[in-house]
Amino acid sequence: MNENTRERIDLLLEEFWKRGYLTVSRKFGTYLPEPERIGKFDVDIVARHKKDYAIGINLSQTDFADEKLAAKLEYLASRHTKYTNKKVKLFVGIPANYFKQAKIILDKLNTEVQKNIKLFQIVERDLSHTRKQKHKKSLPLFS
């Protein structure tokens, strides 16, 4: 298990939580099961908000080298739920330096598919640095 991959999945999961989604399954989870493959593709997160479902994937540098990336995005973004036939949203985490390239790939896709994809910049942060800042801010409780 790559620690970098786990952190990127955690950062994508935060984007789900900000939008009110509850996690159904995720990779590298402690208590939740790993998501099943969708078609021939691995996904990182499956979540739901009321009766709406969403899939989350993280793209890496090697994904952008693959010429089948557009087909992968189109396939995953065109999924429907089994019984209600509702569209399943696709959340895509992208490293900041590949965000423009991802936008170009997204513009080449069908407009119905484009509406179903949300792109997010995944910016890795130093957790030890942010914890120190929070600790400094919270010291003076009373004066």
pLDDT for 96-129, tens place per residue? Answer: 888 898 898 899 888 888 889 988 888 776 555 5
Beta-carbon contacts of residue 41 (< 8 Å; ≥ 6 apart) = 57, 72, 75, 76
CB-based burial of residue 36 (10 Å sphere; 0-12 exposed, 13-18 middle, 19+ buried)? Answer: exposed
pLDDT at position 53: 92
Least Cα distance to 38 among 10, 66, 86, 79 occurs for 79
CB-based burial of residue 105 (10 Å sphere; 0-12 exposed, 13-18 middle, 19+ buried)? Answer: middle
pLDDT at position 46: 92
Q: Which CATH architecture has domain 3-137?
A: 3-Layer(aba) Sandwich (3.40)
pLDDT for 31-61, tens place per residue? Answer: 888 888 888 888 999 999 988 999 999 988 8
The C-alpha R_g of the chain, in whole angstroms, comes to 17
Lowest-pLDDT choice from 92-96, 129-133, 138-142:
129-133
* H helix count then E strand count, the chain: 6, 5
- Six token digits for residue 103: 């936008």
pTM of the model: 0.78
pLDDT at position 82: 85
Q: How far is CA 57 from the centre of its chain?
A: 5
Least Cα distance to 48 among 86, 74, 9 occurs for 86
